[in-house]
């Protein structure tokens, strides 16, 4: 069975700049051999997360189910007032529903993080917030993340960044998520069979 990478991000506006950034990261994941699923726009419009209320909307069920099956995750958020948007943060709050799983929260999964904001300060602080959330959810932020300043880079109607270096960075993030997932899967298989892995030589 192939690996699946789930991307979460964007804004209320369909095909937003941050959603286009997410799609480029997922392109990188597909080039690395993974299947991808994007959860954006209307699919992120969820009731405010309340752990005291067990009932879940159909959209929330789909989100939690997708994350439960994910081998890797990509998070892309616009920077609102210097941090993660409420839309993305509320979606991430639903990861709490995975707390009792055999892989609780985002345990054992690499997570690529991208922030896009109108200015460097908000972009950088939003990226830092995303990475902190991933740590709290037991995930592994990829070595490479991206803070995008929307005054300096934009995405055209085909989703292509105005700066080729940004496209390379975003695709690399997707590739790193898949690479980690492949390594983690191989390690888990070795543990199941009781065989030691041969160290990689580079």
For 182-201, the pLDDT digits (tens) are 998 776 666 655 655 544 43
Question: Which tens digit of pLDDT belongs to each residue from 91-118?
Answer: 999 999 999 999 999 999 999 999 999 9
Please report, in angstroms and rounded to a whole number, the separation of the first and last CA atoms in the chain: 28
Determine the Cα–Cα distance for residues 195 and 48; give it in Å rounded to an integer.
46
The arithmetic mean of pLDDT across residues 16-36, rounded, is: 97
Q: Radius of gyration (Cα) for the chain, nearest Å?
A: 17
Q: CA 189 → CA 103, 113, 193, 194, distances in Å?
A: 15, 27, 6, 8
Residue 153, burial from CB neighbour count under 10 angstroms (0-12, 13-18, 19+): middle
| Mean confidence (pLDDT) of the chain | 92
Q: What is the pLDDT of residue 185?
A: 77
Domains identified in the chain and CATH numbers: 4-193 (3.40.50.360)
Relative to beta strand 146-149, strand 83-84 is: unpaired
Whole-prediction pTM value? 0.91
Q: Are residues 75 and 8 in contact, defined by beta-carbon separation less than 8 angstroms?
A: yes
- Which position has the higher pLDDT, 186 or 149? 149
Residue 43, burial from CB neighbour count under 10 angstroms (0-12, 13-18, 19+): middle
On the question of pLDDT at 69 being above 60, the answer is yes
């Amino acid at each position: 069975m192939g690996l699946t990478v789930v991307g979460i991000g964007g804004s209320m506006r369909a095909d937003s700049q941050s959603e286009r950034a997410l799609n480029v990261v997922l392109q990188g994941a597909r080039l690395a051999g993974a299947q991808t699923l994007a959860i954006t726009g209307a699919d992120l419009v969820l009731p405010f997360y309340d752990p005291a209320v067990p009932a879940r909307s159909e959209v929330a069920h789909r989100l939690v189910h997708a994350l439960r099956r994910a081998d890797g995750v990509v998070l892309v958020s616009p920077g609102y007032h210097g941090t993660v948007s409420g839309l993305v943060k509320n979606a991430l709050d639903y990861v709490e529903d995975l707390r009792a799983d055999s892989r609780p929260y985002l345990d054992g999964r690499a997570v690529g993080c991208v922030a896009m904001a109108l200015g460097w300060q908000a972009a950088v602080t939003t990226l830092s917030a995303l990475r902190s959330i991933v740590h709290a959810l037991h995930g592994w932020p990829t070595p490479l993340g991206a803070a995008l300043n929307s005054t300096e880079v934009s995405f055209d109607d085909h989703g292509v960044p105005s700066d080729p270096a940004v496209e390379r960075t975003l695709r690399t993030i997707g590739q790193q998520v898949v690479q980690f997932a492949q390594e983690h899967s191989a390690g888990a298989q070795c543990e199941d069979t009781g065989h030691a892995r041969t160290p990689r030589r580079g």
